[in-house]
Amino acid sequence: MNNQTTTLERSVICDRTQTRTEACMCGRCGRGSPDAKLAANKRDVLALLGLIAGCVDCHPKLVADKPTWSLAGDVAHLREQLVAIATGIALTPDGSEQAARRGIESALGTDDEDVAEALINAMCTPIAKPTEDTMSTETTQPDHTEIADELDQIRDEIIKQCERARTMLRRAAPRLTYERARMYWLAHILAAAGAEEYRNPYDTTICNTIEELRDGEDGDEG
C-alpha cells in the first residue's frame, strides 16, 4: 500500500472507529451541533437499506423464474439477519431479547399497508424485562474489578485455544487450508483478543473493555 492512499483514507475514515468522520460519533469527530451528524447518519442508513432492498429485488438469482429451496434458504437467511438487527434496535439494556424478537415478528405479520408503521412501533416501544430481573440487577452491584479479572482470564483462554488450533492446523491440515485459517478467522479472533502479534492500535479489543472496567469508566454517564 502506498503512503498517499493511507493518508487520504485516514482523513475520511476515523482512526478510532473505522467510521467515516462525517458520521462518526466518537469524542473527536462528534463535536459541534447534532444536525450534521444526524443528517450524515440518516443518509447512510437509507443508503444501506436501499442497497439491501436493491440486492433482494434485482439480484439475478432472485428474478429468475424458478424458485428453489436453496434460493428460499438464501432469502430466509437475509430475513433472519434483518430481524436480528430490528430486534437489536427494539431491545433496551434491561429488556428481554425474546420479547423484542416476538414484537418484531408479530409486527411483520401485519397487512402490507400497515407493516411499516407496525415495525416502527415495535422498534420504538421499549420492552421491559420482568420485574424480578430488573430488581435483581438493581440490588446486586457487580464489582467491575472482578469482572475485569475474569475477562482477563477469558482472554488468556481465547489466545491459548487459538494457538492450539493454529499449531494443530499447521501440522495436519493442507497448506492452503492452514494459511486461510491463519489469515482470516484466527487473525480476527486473535486481533479481537488483543494478542501481541496482531495488535492494531486502531482496534477496540477485549483489552479496551478490561481497561475501561478497571478505570471505572462509565459509558452511560459523561
Applying CB under 5 A, the residues found at the interface with Zn ion are 14, 17, 24, 26, 29
* Residue whose CB is less far from Zn ion, 87 or 205: 205
What's the min distance (Å) between Cβ of 198 and Zn ion?
A: 22
Cβ at position 196, least distance to Zn ion in Å: 26
CA neighbor of 202 nearest in space, from 26, 54, 39: 26
- Residue 20 φ then ψ, to 5°: -65, 140
Q: Please, which residue, 27 or 60, has the CB nearer to Zn ion?
A: 27
Give the shortest CB-24-to-Zn ion separation in angstroms. Answer: 3
Contact 186, 124 (CB under 8 A): no
The neighbour count for residue 162, using CB atoms within 10 Å, is: 20
Partnered with residue 20 across adjacent β-strands are 13
Q: Which grid cell is 78?
A: 437475509
Measured from each CB, the residue nearest to Zn ion is 14
CB nearer to Zn ion: pick between 26 and 85? 26
What is the smallest separation between the CB atom of 48 and Zn ion, expressed in angstroms? 19
In whole angstroms, the minimum distance from the beta carbon of 89 to Zn ion comes to: 22
In eight-state DSSP terms, residue 173 is S
Residue 33 vs 140, nearer CB to Zn ion: 33
Nearest to 220 by CA among 92, 70, 125, 97: 92
Q: In the complex with Zn ion, which residue's Cβ is closer, 32 or 130?
A: 32
Find where cell 494457538 sits.
163
Q: Contact, 162 vs 195, CB < 8 A?
A: yes
